[in-house]
Amino acid sequence: MNLADGATSASQFTIDFEDMEKKINEKTKMLVINNPHNPTGKLFTRQELEKLAEIAKKHNLIVIADEVYEFHVWDKNDMVRFASLPGMYERTISIGSAGKAFSVTGWKLGWAVGPKQLLEPLKAIHQNCVFTCSSPTQMAIAEAFRLDWPKFLNDPKNSYLATGLSGELRGKRDKLAKMLEEGNFRPIIPDAGYFMLADYSHLKEGLKLASEADPDDFVFSRWLCREKKLAVIPPSAFYSSRAEKDKNSHMVRLCYFKKNETLDAAEVILKKLGKE
């Protein structure tokens, strides 16, 4: 995805559909869409998803809709599930995560929803690769849904999935954005999810530490972690070619879904950094 210079919001990330379509050839079988998107924090608009649906139809592609952050959307932002678009259910496997939905990341439990003809082969692969998942966590997640789903449908103010989770996330997002500005970073405000990108390229330290061996964001992230005790992720890790890595190495990715004490400790570090 592309982000214009000076952008401040994840919604400003755009897909070059023409370029994307050029990469499709006779060997292409599948389109993988991640919405809301990690690491950018972008929530795709209905129009963007419709355009992807058009491409999937035109090239007869199966679609994996990785929607693990589907409940992590706040304000009146509209989370459009890809399979809900006209004609898309039949070609889409939608992926969800209990770990993300109920904030138990690490439980590694999720679900795949789709038509029989796509789920039958998926089940065969699951049987041979993953084989099973832990029954106690399955029971716990079933219970979590049993308790929350009626509220999700009828009493959203008291539902964790409808409002509790997103409310908590939104507060923490705003807190981290403010802290980053104090630290002299330029945050790209996400629409959804756990993560925020922040441009550090104007910081002296980042430039001073540039190395030929690793993309700049790796060097900067290592320095931030080792010297300042603040752990971030270098977003260039999400790209495969060196040219793409270098093009996307002026930011770091931070997670704001942390205990308040952790965010407070990060604030102290960022405030100090901002004054250096």
* 38 is a contact residue toward ligand PLP (CB under 6 A): yes
| Distance from C-alpha of 233 to C-alpha of 184, rounded to nearest angstrom | 18
Q: Give yes or no for residue 40 binding ligand PLP (CB under 6 A).
A: no
Smallest distance, ligand PLP to C-beta of residue 29, A: 20
Q: Helix (H, G, I), strand (E, B), or coil: what is residue 227?
A: helix
Between CA 265 and CA 256 the distance in angstroms is 12
* 43 contacts 36 by C-beta, under 8 angstroms: yes
Q: Considering CB under 6 A, how many residues would be counted as binding ligand PLP?
A: 10
- Distance CA(160)–CA(148), nearest Å, equals 7
Instruction: Indicate which single residue of 108, 208, 229, 242 sits in contact with ligand PLP (rule: CB under 6 A).
Output: 108
By beta-carbon proximity to ligand PLP, the closer residue of 198 and 233 is: 233
Q: For residue 220, how many other CB atoms are within 10 A of its CB? A: 27
- By beta-carbon proximity to ligand PLP, the closer residue of 144 and 269 is 144
Distance of CA 206 to the CA centre of its chain: 24
Nearer to ligand PLP, 70 or 216 (CB): 70
Sign of CA dihedral 49, 109, 230, 70: positive
Under the criterion CB under 6 A, does residue 164 sit at the interface with ligand PLP? no
The single residue among 8, 14, 105, 262 that binds ligand PLP, judged by CB under 6 A, is 105
Binders of ligand PLP in range 63-102 (CB under 6 A)? 66, 68, 97, 99-100
Q: What DSSP designation does 184 have?
A: T
Q: Is 255 in the site for ligand PLP (CB under 6 A)?
A: no
Q: Interface with ligand PLP by CB under 6 A: which residues?
A: 34, 38, 66, 68, 97, 99-100, 105, 108, 110
